[in-house]
Structure 1
C-alpha cells in the first residue's frame, strides 16, 4: 500500500491518499477540502479513486466529502453512526468556523468495530475509538503496519474532548486498549501534524505514555 499525506484547508488537516499498488485503486481518507489539490495527487499516482473513508464527523475532516462523492459518484464509508449528529451539524459548523458551505451527507456504510474496508486488493481493519467524538473510527493496515488515527492520537498529544459528547476517559481507553495492542512498531498518520509510532508515544507521550499513568 502506497500512501501520501496531503494537508488541506486553513486547519492543515491531514487527508491521506491510499493507493493499492497491485490494482492502482485508491481511496481518500478524510477529504476536508481543497478537492483540486486532492484530485491532482490522485492523478500523479496514476490511480483510480474508488472510495471515500471518514474517521469522524468534524468539519475539517469531512468538508469536501459531499462534493467529492457527488462529483465522482464515490461511495462513502464511515464514520460510526454515533457521529451522525456532527454530520447533521455541518451547516452550523461552516458558519461557526468561517468555512464555505458544505452539504450534509449520508454515508453509504456506517462502520462498526471489527468491520473491514477495501482499498483495491488491500484490507483495512476498522476500530471504533470513541472519545474525541463518539463515532470516531481508526483504519489499520496490518500488512503495512500503518494506522490512520484521525484526531484520536497525535505525536506528543491526544485529541480534544471538550466538544459535545467528547469523553476523556473513553479516549484514553481507546488508545490504550485498542491502539497499543496493535504493536509498538505500527506507524500512524494523525489528523494533524507529523507521523509517529505507537512505541514512541508509549515512551514519551505525556497523556498516554506508559510512565504517565
Structure 2
C-alpha cells in the first residue's frame, strides 16, 4: 500500500489517494474539490480508481465526491449515515464558504464501526469516530500501520466541535478510546496539515496527551 496526498480547495484539505501497489487499484478519500487536479494525479500514475471514500460531510471534504463518482462510474462509500444531513446541505455549505455550486447526494454505502472497505488486494478497517461531526469515520490500514483520520485529530491539535452537532466529549473519547489503542507507531494522515503518529500526539498534543488525563 502506498498513498499520495493531493491538497485541494482553499482550505488546503488533504485529499488522499490510497493505492494497492500490487494492482494499481486506488481509492480517493475526501475529494473536497479540484477534480481535474485529482484525476490528473491518478491518470499520470496509471491508477484505476475503484471507489470514492468520505470521512465526513463537510464541504471541504465532500464537495466534489458526487461529480467525481459520476465521472468515473464508481460508488461513494462513507461516512456514517449520521452525516446525511451535511451531505444534503452541501449547496448551503458551498454558498456559505465560497465554494462553486454543488449538488447534494446520498452515499451508496454508509459505514459503521467494524466495517471494512476493500480495493485491489487491500482492506481498510472502518471506525466510527464522532465528535467533529456525528457521522465521522476513519480508515485504518492495519498491515501498513497508518490511518486516514479526517478532521478528528491533527498534528498538535484536534477537530473543531463548534459546528452543528459537534460534541467535544465524543471527540476526545473517539481519539483516546479508538485511535490511540491502534498503536503509538501508527502514522496518520489528517484532514489538514502534516502527518503525525498516534504516539507523538499521545505524548505532546495539548488536548489529548496522556498527561492531561492523569
Give the TM-score, by structure 1 length.
0.99
Kindly state the Cα deviation for residue 8 of structure 1 after the two structures are TM-superposed: 0.2
Residues in 2 aligned to 1:104 and 1:78: alpha-carbon distance in whole angstroms: 14
Query: Is the 1:58–1:87 Cα contact (8 Å) retained in structure 2?
Result: yes
- Matches for 1:27-42 after TM superposition, within 5 Å: 27-42=27-42
Match of 1:163 in 2: 163
1:51 and 2:51 aligned:
yes
Residues in 1 aligned to 2:21 and 2:179: alpha-carbon distance in whole angstroms: 26
Deviations 1:157-211 (A, max 9, x none): 0000001110000000000000011000000000000000000000000000011
- Matches for 1:30-179 after TM superposition, within 5 Å: 30-179=30-179
Residues in 2 aligned to 1:212 and 1:206: alpha-carbon distance in whole angstroms: 7
Bigger shift: residues 152-161 or 98-107: 98-107
Structure 2 spans left out of the alignment, 5+ residues? none
Deviations 1:120-148 (A, max 9, x none): 11000000000000000000000110100
Kindly state the Cα deviation for residue 44 of structure 1 after the two structures are TM-superposed: 2.3
Residues in 1 aligned to 2:105 and 2:184: alpha-carbon distance in whole angstroms: 36
Q: Indicate the SS of the match to 1:14.
A: strand
Bigger shift: residues 182-191 or 96-105: 96-105
Q: Indicate the SS of the match to 2:26.
A: strand
Query: Is the 1:18–1:119 Cα contact (8 Å) retained in structure 2?
Result: no
Deviations 1:46-77 (A, max 9, x none): 11111000000000000100110111111000
Residues in 1 aligned to 2:39 and 2:178: alpha-carbon distance in whole angstroms: 32
Q: Indicate the SS of the match to 2:172.
A: helix
Residues in 1 aligned to 2:47 and 2:129: alpha-carbon distance in whole angstroms: 30
Residues in 1 aligned to 2:39 and 2:144: alpha-carbon distance in whole angstroms: 24
Give the ranges of 4+ consecutive aligned residues of structure 1 lying more than 6 Å apart after TM superposition.
Answer: none
Query: Is the 1:14–1:193 Cα contact (8 Å) retained in structure 2?
Result: yes
Residues in 2 aligned to 1:17 and 1:44: alpha-carbon distance in whole angstroms: 13
Query: Root-mean-square deviation (CA), in Å?
Result: 0.6
Match of 2:196 in 1: 196
Give the TM-score, by structure 2 length.
0.98
Match of 1:210 in 2: 210
Query: Is the 1:54–1:79 Cα contact (8 Å) retained in structure 2?
Result: yes
